[in-house]
A and B are shown apart, each in its own frame.
Chain A
Amino acid sequence: MTSRLIIETDQLARAFGDVVAVDGLCLQVRPGEIFGLVGPDGAGKTTTIRLLAAIMDPTGGSARVAGFDTVTEPEPIKRRIGYMAQRFNLYGDLSVWENLNFFADVFEVAGSERRERIERLLNFARLTEFRDRRAAHLSGGMQKKLALACTLIHTPEIIFLDEPTTGVDPVSRREFWGILTDLHLEGITLVISTPYMDEAERCSRVGLMYQGSLVVCDTPERVKAMTRGELIALWPSDPRRAKDILARHGEVLEVQTYGDQLRLFVRDAGSAMGWIDTALAAHGVEVLEMRPTRPRMEEAFISLIQGRMASEGS
């Protein structure tokens, strides 16, 4: 079983002084997966990715990537992985082509293979016509694509992407994910951290991080099924009052607000459809629209985090 894992961590931990960023993380990634790391800001996603990319040493536990230990054997790992940091980490004063060329040089990609590969990556990232433009003068989306192209120059087996689409417009995001899907189909393992729940849904499996460790780690379908009860979407005339009234009701497990919409987790959606109307009418709140629905990643995420926070608070 172990041989089928491409990334495996054992009680991985990293502290910065008194602050524990990653705390006893046990993570398993199979070859060819798109593995999504989700979690609130400060959950330890970036630190985890740096630990796995062997550019930071853990303060506890260990990690094996592509069969090598990140502390004792970082060099073979570096040749097998690509790492794309959250920040733009290329040379802004070099052109697109010069950046690709430089990384080809340091990875010792040489000869005709190198020329052919650079051309292919430029084409792949749709940057061919911008090859002579300085990286600093590219748009945010194009910079991300260039960064991805640079991490692919040595055809890595695993790619780590730290919030690659943060600050990118929706059209570029979609295009970027198109490229990631192509890589996935080529059999490359992708480990990606993201704050976007729609991106989490595209992953083979997601790990939900909270305060340095994994709360849940499963397929998006199963994670969504972990929420308690059934979900109802409700548009009341006065959402604030409706929320107060319903939160006190014994049948209601959890209430989440999305603008004018309330999303209620109840024990039984069928019966709830009946009594919600009357309960709100008694307080003069009108139901504009109401229907049973399936939980999205976002509800599951908030519900799991809130559950974890509540259990720590008690």
Chain B
Amino acid sequence: MLNRIWQLIIKEFIQLFRDRLMAPFVLLGPLTELLMIAWSTSQGIDHLPTAVLDLDQSNASRGLITAMVNSETFDPYFVASFDEITEEIDRGRALVAWTIPRGFQTQLLDLSGDAPAVQVIVDGADVVAAQTAAEVAQGVVASYGQQVAVQSSPAAAGLFPLDVSLRVWFNEEMKESNYMIPSELGFIAAAITAMVASMAIARERELGTLEQLMVTPLRSVELVIGKSVMAVALGYTEFLLMLGMVVWLFDVPMRGSYPLLMVLALLYMLVELGWGLMISAVARTQMQALLIAFAVIMVMIIFSGYAFPVETMPRFMQIIANFFPLKHWLVVFRSILLKGAGVSVFWRELLAIAGLGAAIYTGTVLLLRRRRLQ
């Protein structure tokens, strides 16, 4: 039995490397994808093109503009009228526009009167950039106002006693890439495993070779094991390649234990392999297998907390999200990577993954038993 499985695996690898598309697609495709995602998300939001209409032309207004430049979030350039601002934003040349009103300096220094209002327009079409721009703009204006007030009347300094002290743990620089890259990595490897397994069996069915194998002593269990070994081998290789790339190339911190991560990643991959096997029990052709696999993966992503935080979903959806192993795995994976946590922290997630794995495999066996041939 072991020998037959071994021979099947050898055959699979000969076929894999003889196929001009499959091996590069499986090994290089995800690596490239991760590379691009890592590059694009590791760039912070800064140097946004900013149109500035300075109607005051005073020391105070120039001081504000300097403060704005120093924030590095805005790259200002001057415009001469409000109409121009509208046009710059309309045409997408500016993402932000500042208008400093006439009398800004006078109002600023007259502490008894109303505080001057600086108008900041942001292009809300790009939500993430707009939020950042709005927050930074408020900060710049507030701190500039405070600075001017303190300079003009040292006694007033006590009027600004509040200072928020913010500390971010585990991802000190609040780098989006530290969240995105592990998520992407965690799910690509599993998706590859499931996809390769489902297509490998569907391929034998599509080409008719499954029928030929059925008249040999090769049992269906042996066939499934042989195909699974290849799928997991590919998925795991991919996982290690991506992990190496992310840690060495993109400086994503790896604070936990490598052996723990390796073992858990393998176990998780075996769980997602179950999806692939389940799909292969249903799909008759490779095309069908691929399409079903894509559909499953899309749903997995939505409920995993990778694209949208699960915490913001409606209660019902949050409950459904718990039925996807990917959600729990991402918690485990990020805990090891960013927090250096051990099993004592995420044992609940591990239990959930194991339980869901058992459910997926039970379903797969039931489905496979129902269909022997046709």
B217 engages A102 (CB within 8 Å): no
- For residue B311, CB closer than 8 A to chain A, the reply is no
A275 contacts across to B, CB distance below 8 A? none
**A positions within 8 Å CB-CB of B:** 16, 50, 53-57, 75, 78-79, 81-83, 85, 87-94, 98, 102-103, 105-108, 150
Complex partner residue of B215 from A16, A78, A102, CB under 8 angstroms:
A78
B338 CB, min distance to chain A CBs, angstroms = 43
Q: How extensive is the interface on chain B, given as a class? A: 20 to 34
A106 engages B211 (CB within 8 Å): no
A53 CB, min distance to chain B CBs, angstroms = 5
Which residue of A has the minimal Cβ distance to B223?
Answer: A106
B372 engages A56 (CB within 8 Å): yes
Given known pairs A83-B212, A89-B209, A93-B19, the reply for A105 and B4 (CB within 8 Å) is yes
Separation of A43 and B335 alpha carbons in the complex (Å): 63
B213 contacts across to A, CB distance below 8 A? 106
B159 contacts across to A, CB distance below 8 A? none
A16 engages B374 (CB within 8 Å): yes
Complex partner residue of A53 from B15, B18, B215, B372, CB under 8 angstroms:
B215
Which residue of A has the minimal Cβ distance to B218?
Answer: A106
B216 engages A106 (CB within 8 Å): yes
Separation of A102 and B213 alpha carbons in the complex (Å): 11
A81 contacts across to B, CB distance below 8 A? 215
Which residue of A has the minimal Cβ distance to B18?
Answer: A93
Interface string of B209-240 (1 = CB under 8 A from A): 10111111110000000000000000000000
A94 contacts across to B, CB distance below 8 A? 11, 14-15, 18
A93 contacts across to B, CB distance below 8 A? 15, 18-19
B374 contacts across to A, CB distance below 8 A? 16, 56
A57 engages B209 (CB within 8 Å): no
Within 8 A of A (CB), among B1-25: 3-4, 7-8, 11, 14-15, 18-19
Supplied contacts A56-B373, A85-B212, 16 more A-B pairs, CB within 8 Å: A50-B373, A54-B215, A55-B211, A55-B214, A78-B217, A82-B215, A89-B211, A91-B11, A91-B209, A93-B18, A94-B11, A102-B7, A103-B216, A105-B7, A106-B8, A106-B213
Complex partner residue of A78 from B14, B216, B373, CB under 8 angstroms:
B216
Complex partner residue of B212 from A75, A90, A92, A105, CB under 8 angstroms:
A90
Separation of A94 and B14 alpha carbons in the complex (Å): 8
- For residue B208, CB closer than 8 A to chain A, the reply is yes
Separation of A105 and B11 alpha carbons in the complex (Å): 10
B212 engages A102 (CB within 8 Å): no
Within 8 A of A (CB), among B179-221: 207-209, 211-218
Of B208, B212, B217, most buried by chain A (CB within 10 Å of CB) is B212
B70 CB, min distance to chain A CBs, angstroms = 63
